[in-house]
Amino acid sequence: MLSLTQVEVDALLLSLRIAAVAVLLSLPLAFACAYLLARGRFPGRLLLDGLVHLPLVLPPVVMGYLLLVLFGTKGPIGGWLLETFNFRLIFNWTGAALAAGIVTFPFQVRAIRLALEAIDPGLEVAAETLGAGWFDRLLGITLPLSLPGVVAGAITAFAAALGEFGAIITFVSNIPGETRTLPLAIYTALQSPGGEQAAARLAALSIILALAGLLLSEIVARRLRRRMGR
């Protein structure tokens, strides 16, 4: 049983909150992008596909720098948010959620897209011939059948968000109680004299959480497929 200090518990709870917000806010957009890529035929589709998956190949520090440029207090979006709503993302846990959501966004899109592409197009065609509109087909056929991919993508993204480091520390820094997530707490412990034991505890916790997330994603996806007879 891991015995964590209050500071380490705070880092864990903050990580869970950031990962949850990141996934919940990005999930609708991830489904929309996956649907466009799976069903759409339009100019720029290949470019959209590349942009969606760009966080997978870019160094996380580069993603953090781009967020800093766009959403910093002097950036075009961040400056507007500050002046209009007095809302600041930089040096704030909400900025960490934004960074985690963007970096893990491709995991959701890919899982949902694969689920959508596995759906028999004849089901939607048959529903259309029976008079079902696009929205009815989406709610009655597409969304339920793609649910295993949606759940698997969300859980995988949640686990990946718990481990995000580079984009978060670059964009929102390493502030105790505000932006210091588990990976940042490990980094801080390693930089502190005598912090090896704390780093080992937090690393073990991170491994357990990541493994649990991956296993849960697979278990849930399999159960949903069995219920649907797939």
How far apart, in Å, are the Cα atoms of 93 and each of 106, 160, 177?
21, 17, 9
CA–centroid distance for 197 within its chain = 29
pLDDT, tens digit (0-9, with 9 covering 90-100), for 56-88: 999 999 999 999 999 999 999 999 999 999 999
Kindly list the structural domains of the chain, giving each domain's residue range(s) and its CATH number in brackets, ordered by start. 6-227 (1.10.3720.10)
Distance CA 230, CA 225 (A): 5
Query: pLDDT by residue for the chain (230 residues), tens digit each?
Result: 467 788 889 999 999 999 999 999 999 999 999 999 998 888 888 999 999 999 999 999 999 999 999 999 999 999 999 999 999 999 999 999 999 999 999 999 999 999 998 888 778 778 878 777 878 888 888 888 888 889 889 999 999 999 999 999 999 999 998 999 999 999 999 998 888 999 999 999 999 988 988 888 888 877 777 776 55
What was the pLDDT predicted at 27? 95
pLDDT of residue 2: 63
User: Model's pTM, two decimal places?
Assistant: 0.89
73: tokens are: 């207090």
Provide the greatest CA pair distance for the chain. Answer: 70
Rounded CA separation 96/188 (Å) = 17
How far is CA 11 from each of CA 18, 25, 133, 225, rounded to the nearest angstrom? 10, 21, 47, 35
Which contiguous run of DSSP H or E holds residue 157? helix 147-162
Task: Look at residue 229 in the predicted model and tell me its pLDDT.
Answer: 59
pLDDT of residue 20: 95
Cα–Cα distance, 9 to 215 (Å, whole number) = 23
